[in-house]
A = this chain, B = another copy of it.
Amino acid sequence: MVTIKEIARELGLSTTTVSNVIHGKSWEVSPATVRRVEEALDRCGYVPNIVARNLAQKESRIVGVALKASPEKSGNLIKDPFFSVVIGAIERQIRLAGYYMMLYISENTDEIIRQASSWNVDGLIVVGLVDDDGRWVEERFKKPVVCVDNCSEEGLRHFVNIGLEDEQGGYLAARHLTELGHRKIAFLTNVLGAVELARLRGFCRALSEAGIEYQEKDCLMINIFHDQVDASLNEVCGRLEDYTAVFCVSDLFAVGLMAALSDRGVRVPEDISVVGFDDIFLGRVHRPSLTTVHQDVEEKGAEAVRALIAMLQGEEVASRDIRLPVRLEVRQSTGAPSGGKA
């Protein structure tokens, strides 16, 4: 690896001069020297050693991106389509902003912080919940942190969060179903974190506007641990016999559910209407295509990077609670109830 020092020696110049040319401080260097240095740089294929540069400067230009894996999807989290799209968007924006991306996946907040500190990253983007470690993180990690989809109250006190109009999403989904005439509507989720609870609130609001009473048993839980998902789907399908429509908190569940229903001879939307959330590719190519609450996942990633970079450059972020809009995307998986179960 060729260094500045070597270039300088070869040209009989000082490292300062070479460094100045590299950084375009041409006004400090004579044009002739600039040309000589540039030629040598080019010829030797000089590449700056970023590690050394980082050490010599205050900033590292690294953005740490941490995926906080929950135990049940651990192993290979990134294959969840939602995550991969977010990460892709984040990588892209980081690169375009002239930063570098260090990717880390862990279930352990402690480890994430240690990793980030070790690399001296300028800032951190955390995808997934930091739950209630917010305060603790802020104490130990003094640099800017942006979260994606951590809308817990505790989290918001400590970080900027990029979230969604989740309540509105749940509302739109349920209102669509009540407007179609459904009265027996289930809510399907795997956990009830802050995000899911917000969607559930909107869901209940729409039901209540339609004069429908939500009961706790209308909330179906699906177990997505790998070896239990089939049994769980089986149970869910059974309980859905009492309903004419179901709202799933993610397209992934919705499509999996539609497949399970189809295997049991239950037709969508004739026998039961299904609404998803996210609007990922999976739902668009499924047949019947999935009616879903659309969110712009790429924009979410981009927004996270934008907020972080702004903070890195000392700008005050207008809001610590950024919420991207959602909209309903009506496709084939929803229709009027057939009357049989009403």
Contacts and interface: CB of A to CB of B under 8 A. Distances in A.
Interface of A: 1, 45, 47-52, 54-55, 60, 75-79, 81, 83-85, 87-89, 91-92, 95, 100-105, 114, 117-120, 140, 255-256, 258-259, 262-263, 281-282, 285-287, 289, 298
A89 B76 contact: yes
Contacts of A75: 92
Given A78-B88, A287-B287, 12 more contacts: A1-B117, A45-B140, A47-B114, A49-B55, A51-B55, A52-B55, A79-B81, A84-B87, A100-B102, A101-B104, A262-B287, A282-B285
A83 B76 CA distance: 12
Contact of A105 (B92, B105, B117, B282): B92
Contact of A118 (B50, B117, B118): B50
Nearest to A45: B140
B79 A120 contact: no
Contact of A103 (B47, B49, B103, B119): B103
B102 A255 contact: no
A314 B262 CA distance: 54
Contact of A91 (B1, B54, B105): B105
A47 B334 CA distance: 54
Given A95-B105, A105-B95, A286-B259, A51 B88 contact: no
Given A55-B55, A84-B84, A287-B259, A76 B118 contact: no
Contacts of A79: 81, 84-85, 88, 281
Nearest to A80: B84
A51 B119 contact: yes
B78 A81 contact: no
Given A55-B52, A91-B105, A100-B102, A117 B47 contact: yes
Contacts of A285: 255-256, 258-259, 282, 286
Contacts of A47: 114, 117-118
Contacts of A83: 84
Nearest to A60: B51
A114 B55 CA distance: 19
Contact of A54 (B51, B92, B282): B51
Nearest to A92: B76
Nearest to A87: B78
24 contacts: A47-B117, A48-B118, A50-B118, A51-B54, A51-B120, A52-B55, A75-B92, A77-B88, A78-B84, A78-B87, A78-B91, A79-B81, A84-B84, A101-B102, A102-B102, A255-B285, A256-B285, A258-B285, A259-B286, A262-B287, A281-B282, A282-B285, A285-B286, A286-B286
A45 B137 CA distance: 13
Contacts of A60: 51
A37 to B, nearest CB: 18
A135 to B, nearest CB: 15
Contacts of A84: 78-79, 81, 83-84, 87-88
A95 B52 CA distance: 23
A55 B54 CA distance: 10
A47, A51, A118, A140 — most chain B CB neighbours (10 Å): A51
